[in-house]
Amino acid sequence: PHAEQFLKLAARIYKNLACIAKFCIASKGYKQTIPSNEFQKLVEVTCKKLTCLLYNFMALKQG
């Protein structure tokens, strides 16, 4: 039960991060701006820490 809740929460985090990323991308014909430092840090931390741990967790549960 805890593993399932954790995976649902992780999926929600990635879904929200994707929505924010899409919001930051300029529409065609508009000038692209650089995302804020906070957003860049959020993406970096998510990639380096959460994603790695999540993959390890899933491998452990499947193995």
Tell me how many domains the chain contains. 1
Domain that holds residue 9: 2-62
**Among 19, 24, 16, 1, residue whose Cα is nearest residue 50:** 16
Instruction: Output the average pLDDT for the chain.
Output: 89
At residue 20, the 3 state secondary structure works out as helix
**pLDDT value at residue 33:** 83
15 CB-side CA count, 13 A: 6
**pLDDT value at residue 22:** 87
- 26-54 pLDDT, tens per residue? 778 888 888 889 989 998 999 899 999 99
CA 49 to chain centre: 10
User: pTM above 0.85?
Assistant: no
The label of the residue with tokens 């193995």 reads 63
